[in-house]
Amino acid sequence: MEIGSIYELNPEIVPERGKPAETALSLKEIAKYKKKHVKYTMSGRSAIALALRSLVRNRPGIAKKCLMPAYMCDTVFFPFEREGWDIHFYHINRNLEADAGELRRLAGLTRPGLLFIHAYYGVDTWKPMRSLLQEWKKQGICIMEDVTQSYYLESAGQEADYVVGSLRKWYPLPDGGFVASEELLTQEEACLEQEFTEKRVNLLTKKWEYLHGKGNREEKKALKEEFLKENREMECWLDTHKGTGILSMESAGILPGIEEKKCLKRRSENYRYLCGRLRGKTQFWPVFSVNGKESGIAGGKSKGQDQAMEGVSVQTAPLYFAVYALDRDGLQHFLTERGIYAPVLWPVGKENKDSLTEDERYIYSHILALPMDQRYGYREMEYMADMLEEYELLFQS
């Protein structure tokens, strides 16, 4: 059994290459943000780049200074740097919350044009401060919310001027991202990156063949090494890509067939199951769980955590199930040996490495993302929970 890693793509559902989508794309989970304008892009990075270019066009003279959480994927920094923005970091505690007092101080000190926010792992960690977003908007600060970890979160995106996210992280797509806004979105410089799309289709269908096709163990091993190598190459290509690529016709053809409601339900079921199985552990513990039984701070939770945890309901359906581990690398290796591929989100970037607090260094060193997406059900979650309990037992004497 294997759990996690990149999506597999059934070659039978890939539209004919170059064939345009038959209908205009509209996703309910994006419609809930209630924005007038939506554009689909090849990636979350392209979505951010498109949003930044649109923002500068819509608000000439805006200060190109952004307040950004110090706990963030370094690939998010890239489009800001390429578009000529200065990044100023604000801090996140172990409960993955920002501090209103610090944000007010930094806003007064740096006079930013943009506040970038992120609700982590399907939980509205901004719930205690969403009312303040309106206050900052009145001061002329633009709000951009990244929902890549919390695409299904109902309370996300309502106050934001721009909502951005990656769709390819949620579904078996060769490419996919989006930006939604009340302001006009420009795509004058956007284009299809067909070579990238075709390579991604090829490697994702190889993953499908690896899981469901014929072949002996050695052949399967070679195929796996091949598509993982190709995936790393494609991710490196994205890191250096300077354009705002648009959604491919292949992804536009696949997305309407994805039943988002069923995906949400399956993720929520998996989340609830893991919450029940992983409580009370000493070697690792959930960052969040239903009813706030666990928290990022061992032995208790903050007042802000209480408020944020009100949003951790039975319908929580994050990108991953986040845990803290005493020995994160040891736990990750243990799971990998048992066919469970839990990524580290995220590696520290060169942009923020000198700006981290003790809490942020703890997050980067101890957090691990357990896969629990819609590809998996009770059988896979039971296996993963069993392996995690086996790991816990190794440390009991």
The pLDDT tens digits of the residues spanning 259-299 come to 999 999 999 999 999 999 999 999 999 999 665 444 454 43
Residue 84 token pair: 């000529």
Q: Which residues pair with 40 in a beta bridge?
A: 178
What is the model's pLDDT at position 117?
A: 98
DSSP line for 321-377: EEEEETTHHHHHHHHHTTTEE---S-PPPTTTTTS--HHHHHHHHHEEEE---TT--
Q: Where are the alpha helices (DSSP H) in 59-150?
A: 74-82, 100-110, 130-138
What is the model's pLDDT at position 41?
A: 96
- DSSP, res 166: E
Rounded distance, CA 264 to CA 283, Å? 29
- The parts of the chain modelled with pLDDT lower than 50 are 292-295, 297-311
Rounded distance, CA 346 to CA 75, Å? 10
Residue 278, burial from CB neighbour count under 10 angstroms (0-12, 13-18, 19+): buried
- DSSP, res 291: G
What is the model's pLDDT at position 310?
A: 42
What is the model's pLDDT at position 16?
A: 79
Query: Strand 321-325 vs strand 284-286: parallel, antiparallel, or unpaired?
Result: antiparallel
State the distance between the two ends of the chain, measured CA to CA, in whole angstroms: 29
